[in-house]
């Protein structure tokens, strides 16, 4: 049985004082939630602060990016070792904004995943299609390519797949539950080809404008195991409602 996995991606938001305010309020709001894995990904500057505040709570810490070398002359980059030293359990890799604005290729993403797993850092691996690709009927082609290239020669352990339809990120548009389930089911079918029965243990989460208003219907889908939440994770009350999604009968 896969545990629900809900992660907050704050992107380039929140100062250290704002991080303290959010985390202190959020901890109290979810202190009795024991059946869901909860992860918060603040900006690099707030990692150590958040790590100290969530210690002992069961909430996990993630970074929003990582470099694929452990040390060296790479100005401005952060290694997996540094993230572990800051208290991180996970790192987000392959987010569409990294692909779009910073030119990250499948090859670079694969190197980042390998470096993170080599250092026992969990990975939230993002994949997804653009609106143009969806309208051209290429959704499955894109997902297949990103899965196979991103996970090339990777042992599937402590990796969460985040399906993020690019056309739904930060736009207020959301894939319907039917669209989300279709994509998630396809992703699981590809993972089954690569990893056999182990694919049934892999969490696949939805990452396209998940909100308090749509989380229940998304989580009712059999292959949707959680959410990677952007804008709705910036306020404790809205993220708490997402973490406290209402389970459908039989899931």
Query: Which one is catalytic: 97, 104, 129, 164?
Result: 164
- pLDDT of res. 216: 96
Q: What one-character DSSP code corresponds to residue 4?
A: P
- Cβ proximity of 36 and 246 under 8 Å: no
Question: In the annotation, is 249 catalytic?
Answer: no
- Over 70: is that where the pLDDT of 250 sits? no
Question: In the annotation, is 95 catalytic?
Answer: yes
- pLDDT of res. 167: 85
- Over 60: is that where the pLDDT of 183 sits? yes
CB atoms within 10 A of CB 42: 27
More confident residue, 173 or 239: 239
- Over 70: is that where the pLDDT of 249 sits? no
Average pLDDT of the segment spanning 208-222 = 93
Using left for φ > 0, alpha for ψ between -120 and 50, and beta otherwise, residue 210 falls in beta
Q: What one-character DSSP code corresponds to residue 161?
A: E
How long a stretch of residues is the chain? Answer: 251
Tokens found for residue 222: 């059999």
Average pLDDT, the chain: 95
Sign of CA pseudo-dihedral 58, 63, 64, 68:
negative
**Does the domain formed by 5-243 have CATH 3.20.20.70?**
yes
- pLDDT of res. 170: 67
- Cβ proximity of 199 and 161 under 8 Å: no
- pLDDT of res. 172: 66
Domain segments of the chain: what residues? Answer: 5-243
Query: Which one is catalytic: 77, 95, 107, 132?
Result: 95
Average pLDDT of the segment spanning 231-247 = 95
Going by their DSSP bridges, the two strands 60-63 and 90-93 should be labelled as: parallel
Average pLDDT of the segment spanning 190-206 = 95
The alpha-helical segments, DSSP class H, found in the chain are 16-29, 47-54, 80-85, 96-102, 106-118, 131-135, 139-150, 177-195, 215-219, 236-243
Between CA 38 and CA 63 the distance in angstroms is 14
Q: What one-character DSSP code corresponds to residue 3?
A: P
In this structure, the dihedral spanned by the alpha carbons of residues 55, 5, 42 and 22, taken in order and rounded to 10 degrees, is -70
- Over 90: is that where the pLDDT of 247 sits? no
Tokens found for residue 169: 């990120």
Please, what is the Cα angle at 204 between 201 and 205, to 5 degrees?
140
Which residue do the tokens 């809205």 mark?
Answer: 238
Average pLDDT of the segment spanning 61-81 = 98
Instruction: Choose among 231, 230, 232: nearest CA to 242.
Output: 232
| CA distances, 132 to each of 23, 136, 156, 207 (Å) | 38, 6, 30, 18
- Over 80: is that where the pLDDT of 242 sits? yes
- Cβ proximity of 150 and 127 under 8 Å: yes
pLDDT in tens, 73-83: 999 999 999 99
Helices (H) and strands (E) in the chain, counts: 10, 8
- Cβ proximity of 172 and 209 under 8 Å: yes
């Amino acid at each position: 049985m896969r545990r629900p996995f809900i992660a907050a991606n704050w992107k380039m938001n929140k100062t250290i004082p704002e991080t303290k305010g959010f985390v202190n309020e959020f901890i109290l709001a979810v202190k009795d939630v024991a059946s869901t894995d909860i992860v918060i990904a603040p900006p690099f500057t707030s990692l150590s602060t958040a790590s100290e505040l969530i210690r002992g709570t069961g909430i996990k810490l993630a970074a929003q990016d990582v470099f694929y070398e452990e040390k060296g002359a790479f100005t401005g980059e952060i290694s997996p070792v540094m993230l572990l030293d800051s208290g991180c359990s996970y790192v987000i890799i392959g987010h569409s904004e990294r692909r779009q604005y910073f030119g990250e290729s499948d090859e670079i993403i694969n190197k980042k995943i390998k470096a993170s797993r080599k250092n026992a850092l969990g990975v939230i691996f993002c994949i997804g299609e653009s609106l143009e690709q969806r309208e051209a009927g290429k959704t499955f082609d894109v997902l297949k390519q990103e899965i196979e290239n991103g996970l090339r020669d990777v042992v599937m352990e402590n990796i969460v797949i985040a399906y993020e339809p690019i056309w739904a990120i930060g736009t207020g548009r959301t894939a319907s539950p039917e669209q989300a389930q279709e994509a998630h089911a396809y992703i699981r079918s590809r993972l089954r080809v690569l990893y056999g029965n182990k694919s049934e243990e892999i969490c696949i989460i939805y990452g396209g404008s998940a909100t308090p208003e749509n989380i229940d219907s998304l989580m009712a889908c059999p292959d949707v195991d959680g959410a990677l939440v952007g804008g709705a994770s910036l306020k404790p009350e809205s993220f708490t409602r997402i973490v406290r999604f209402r389970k459908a009968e039989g899931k």
